[in-house]
Structure 1
Amino acid sequence: MKILSVSTATNHLSVALNDGQQVIVEKNEQDERNHSEHLDPLIDEILKDNNLTLKDIDRFAVAIGPGSYTGLRIGITTVKMFASILSKEVVGISTLQALAKGVKEEALVITGLDARNNNYFAAGYLSRDVQQNVIPDGHYNIDVLIKAIQEYVAKNEVKKIVFVGSGLKKQDEKIKSLGIPYEYGTDEQNVIHAGLIGQLAENAIPVDPDKLLPRYLRRTQAEVDWHKKTGKPFEPDSHYVEEV
């Protein structure tokens, strides 16, 4: 199965072509503002280098969040358009799960993206042959995240924790208080790789392109302001958690 995968969730842009679990090619760019300009040329380059067209792709995959609001929309809109026009399969993959996929050793993997003010988009995964999400994807204050880790550790045998993503090293004192051997991810592990998204996508359940939505895990400021102004309830078709 040929899978074309995309991540525009962070300032790291990644595009990959997979043949099932095999990553044929992955191209990455560190580009904070121009994903909309660089995504299509990267896709075109990968296809041309492998003598393929979009019609040859069996399944499209994309990181659906959490992440940058604008960035997520760029990647999701692109693959939705491809899948809809070409009548191809499309799947969305958790950004945090894709980060966890990069850790190969057996450990509790805490994936996090810095959401400022000691808040993180974070989750906990067991890095085994079949990943298990043991701390749900969510928007956590660091103290709440540490408590969630403590509760999991108290009920399960955990020999090691690996922290991957962004902004977690500055919480080293709180992490140290867990009393469990830990380490931080390498530069390579701390970014989202489209090739790993492709591997996760092989066995994921395809969705209708129209139903592929970003998972922000936090309300946008515009939505908060709109709710305060109008008093109307928030729309039900997005995934949110309580503000912290």
Structure 2
Amino acid sequence: MLLLALDTATPAVTAALHDGTDVVAAHSQVDARRHGELLLPAVDRVLAEAGARLSDVTAVVAGVGPGPYTGLRVGLMTAETFGLALGVPVHGLCTLDGLAHESGLTGPFVVATDARRKEVYWARYETSGDAGNAGNTDGSAATVTRIGEPAVDRPAEIAAEVAGLPAVGAGALLYPDTFTDARGPEHVSAAALASLAAHRLAAGEELLPPRPLYLRRPDAQVPKNYKVVTPK
């Protein structure tokens, strides 16, 4: 098994390889405006670091967000293209789940990423099992369970729901008045996604389809009253 993981749902452009036992290579670079430029070089870098070729990959997993429209599509379209070219399955994972897996937190906590427009993408989590292993990237972490579906809201609107809970992610760090116990990691890593995917696949769990989780309409909109030009 050689699992290639990608995520572009946050400002981090991140790729990793997992051999079914552990993460064998990982690379992340934070640049919110260059997802398309940086992702393929990141894939090349982790393949070289692992001494592998793209043809060695047996499955691909991509973070499905929630995230901004353009950046999110880069990772998902790249994953789908790899899957089609290699003839291997492509799986999706919620990006917030990857951050939760990586956080090392125990008990109830929150993950919140920056949704722009003064909003956050967020979800609540609970941890069970061996809390001492939480946050590992070898698939042995405690079970971290998301409570409900991810949402997008203004921080002030969810203050009562997240009050007093530890919180990770860039969204939590941006709004300390709401997330009073905010901490890192700031962005998801593909290493965390890869280990979480490998763990769930080994347990026989079905992962998400590689479809984007937008939660709202894209920023770019077709003008409502644009002038129609017709040939004379």
Give the TM-score range, shorter chain.
Answer: 0.7 to 0.9
| 1:130 aligned partner, one-letter code | T
Does 1:216 pair with 2:220? no
Pairing of 1:117-132 with structure 2 (within 5 A): 117-128=117-128, 129-132=142-145
CA contact (8 A) 1:112 1:163 kept: yes
| 2:170 aligned partner, one-letter code | S
- Structure 1 residue 197: Cα displacement: 0.5
Correspondence for 1:81: 81
2:169 to 165, 179, 182: 165
Pairing of 1:104-143 with structure 2 (within 5 A): 104-128=104-128, 129-143=142-156
Matches of 2:174 and 2:49, distance apart in 1: 41
- Structure 1 residue 21: Cα displacement: 4.8
Residue 192 of structure 2: SS of its match in structure 1? helix
Matches of 1:169 and 1:40, distance apart in 2: 29
CA contact (8 A) 2:68 2:218 kept: no
Matches of 1:218 and 1:35, distance apart in 2: 20
- Structure 1 residue 118: Cα displacement: 4.0
- Aligned residues, how many? 207
Residues 95-145 of structure 1, C-alpha deviations (whole Å, 9 max, x = no match): 111111112231322111222454211111123422211142011222332
Q: Give the unaligned 5+ runs of structure 2.
A: 129-141, 226-232
Residues 58-89 of structure 1, C-alpha deviations (whole Å, 9 max, x = no match): 11011111112111111101110111121101
CA contact (8 A) 1:90 1:206 kept: no
**TM-score normalized with structure 2 length:** 0.79
**TM-score normalized with structure 1 length:** 0.76
Residue 131 of structure 1: SS of its match in structure 2? strand
Does 1:196 pair with 2:209? no
Matches of 1:29 and 1:172, distance apart in 2: 25
| 1:139 aligned partner, one-letter code | V
Residues 17-63 of structure 1, C-alpha deviations (whole Å, 9 max, x = no match): 11225111111112222221221122112212322112211110111
Change (3 A) 1:193 1:142: same
Q: Give the unaligned 5+ runs of structure 1.
A: 151-159, 177-182, 230-244
CA contact (8 A) 1:12 1:29 kept: yes
Matches of 1:174 and 1:96, distance apart in 2: 18
- C-alpha root-mean-square deviation of aligned residues, in Å? 2.3
CA contact (8 A) 2:25 2:49 kept: no
Correspondence for 1:68: 68
